[in-house]
Amino acid sequence: MKLTRAGEYAIRCILYLSRQNVADTIRRHDVAGHMDIPMQFLSKIAQQLAKAGLIQITQGAKGGYRLIRSPEEITLLDVIEAVEGELVLNDCLLEHERCSRKGTCAVHQVWAKARGQLRDTLAGVTFAEL
């Protein structure tokens, strides 16, 4: 029921890029150093952020990371789901088959609501505001 380290690092990474000159490509080394993220681990996370269309990665000399979207267009939810996958609070909401077999489950409704609220809250905050 908690954000993983990878999720936390992803947020820090985007946060750092948002605070620099957004057009610049920032070296992984700098991001890792300033935001206290293990370098190699940052590689993995950056690759997921790139796959999700949030950053562009450049290899080679002068390589590094650059935001593709502007900070106004990136929400906390975007970043979290980029590294953790779709945000779900319980299995019940995943295993549709199993849950529906039990008929109308009142608990299900509550979880659906809770999940919706959480996603809305996280989707309501952009990195421009942070």
- The residues that touch DNA, with contacts defined as CB under 7 A, are 4-6, 9, 27-29, 38-41, 43-44, 46-47, 50, 57-65
33 binds, among DNA, a second copy, none (CB under 5 to 8 A by kind): none
Tabulate helix, strand, coil % of the chain (nearest 5): 60, 10, 35
Compare residues 6 and 35 and give the one whose CB is closer to DNA: 6
| Contact predicate 87/115, CB 8 Å | yes
64 binds, among DNA, a second copy, none (CB under 5 to 8 A by kind): DNA
121 binds, among DNA, a second copy, none (CB under 5 to 8 A by kind): a second copy
Q: Which residues contact 105 (CB under 8 A, 6 or more apart)?
A: 92, 99
